[in-house]
Structure 1
Amino acid sequence: MLCGTYQPYYDRLVQDAPFLTSDGRLSEQLVDKITLQLNRVYPQILTNKEAEKFRNPKSPLQARLVELLRHLQKKGDRDCQEFYRALQNNADQLYITLPSRKKRETSDSTEVHNDQEKYILNARGPMFFLACFSVAAGLAFLMHFYSPDAKVAVGTRKVVGFSAIGFGRHVRNILLSYMEDTSRKN
């Protein structure tokens, strides 16, 4: 899910590289699994020769990992994204604890909180609006037809009387009292 604060995978990898290369974060087996997955993904992120180079047990794990991350950064954002996908597939617990993920999660939660603050005025929903609008329209209707200087037709009293059936108890009482007042005046 993309948010308003999208961070390219290249930048995320730059931010996470020190965390990933620190001692003990990634085991040799895990680096081999990630390298193999990047080698087998279509289109290939790593060629067979590059995969052999990054899986070479003769060179230290730390050096291979640093080279792998630099190589992916040089290739671009899509390749960095595939690295993150491979990391998530093979080491989900480590993926969750990445510094870039923690930063994104906190910014996502503040965005959700800000969205809730934006809509706090609309908490009552559309039915509340319709009810208020109906009451206002009904009062305007009553004021127009039952003003002292206007003559009310006999048919309009019947319409107001039947429309009172659809309203709540309080509105119904008001409409019926207006009907009684106008019938007394006539």
Structure 2
Amino acid sequence: MADIDCYHEQLQRDAQFLCSDQRMDTELVDSLVLQLNRIHPQTLSDKEAHRFRNLGVPTKVRLAELLKHLQVKGEEACHEFYRGLHIHAEDVYFSLPSRVRRREMADPKWTNSVEIRRERYVLNERGPMFFLSCFSFAVGLAMLYYYGEGKTLRGTGAFLHCSAAGLTSGAKDVFISYADIGTKKK
């Protein structure tokens, strides 16, 4: 397939996929038409480009007409369409049936077919209880700092003892002793 297949035949096979793919939206079709018109004016004249950019016609219809028109124009026009699709929508280009088939034929053992999975970045694997214990420790320290020297710490002793519940034994002892010292100063 790789050497025998021409772009004209590939476009015939890929046309149905392209017309049904949701990623082929108005903006992409317009950019492809402009690419073919401005960079390769022999492929699409200004009049033809204006016809394929008419927003009064649904995008799927314009795309189907563009693909038929390019097939009539010949091999070079089909090649330029594929080049423009590769530039403007690489994800669509690589998911074309002709491209997928070409990759499968080039790699018959499927060593290249492993999906690339995005790594999941986890800042903390310990879970929500670790976060809550750290948060309660920070709140307890903030309360000690702001209310520790004043006379308003009287009612917060029970709260401070409860907020130390998620801490390790060493941190819990320091926290409770500091809270007790703060309440004895009064």
Q: How does 1:156-175 map to 2 (within 5 A)?
A: none
Q: Letter of the aligned partner of 1:83 in structure 2? A: F
SS in 2 for 1:19: helix
Query: Please, what TM-score do these two structures have when normalized by structure 1?
Result: 0.55
Question: What's 1:48 paired with?
Answer: 46
State the aligned residue count.
110
Unaligned runs of 5+ residues in structure 1 are 114-186
Q: Deviations over 1:50-109 (max 9, x none)?
A: 000000001111110100000000010110000000000000011010000011111112
Question: What's 1:108 paired with?
Answer: 106
Q: Letter of the aligned partner of 1:97 in structure 2? A: S
Runs of 4+ residues over 6 Å off in structure 1: none
Query: Which of the two has higher C-alpha Rg?
Result: 1
Structure 1, 81-90 or 3-12: larger mean CA deviation: 3-12
Question: What's 2:9 paired with?
Answer: 11
Q: Letter of the aligned partner of 1:102 in structure 2? A: V
The percent identity for this pair of structures is 45
1:110 Cα deviation after fit: 3.5
- Which whole-Å CA distance do the structure 2 matches of 1:101 and 1:54 have between them? 25
Q: How does 1:10-89 map to 2 (within 5 A)?
A: 10-22=8-20, 24-89=22-87
Indicate conservation of the 8 Å contact 2:2/2:102, yes or no: no
SS in 2 for 1:25: coil
> What CA RMSD, in Å, does the superposition of the two structures yield over aligned residues?
2.0
Q: Letter of the aligned partner of 2:52 in structure 1? A: F
- Which whole-Å CA distance do the structure 1 matches of 2:41 and 2:29 have between them? 20
- Bigger share in helix: 1
Q: Measured at CA, do residues 109 and 6 of structure 1 come closer, stay the same or move farther in structure 2, by a change above 3 Å?
A: farther
Q: Letter of the aligned partner of 1:16 in structure 2? A: D
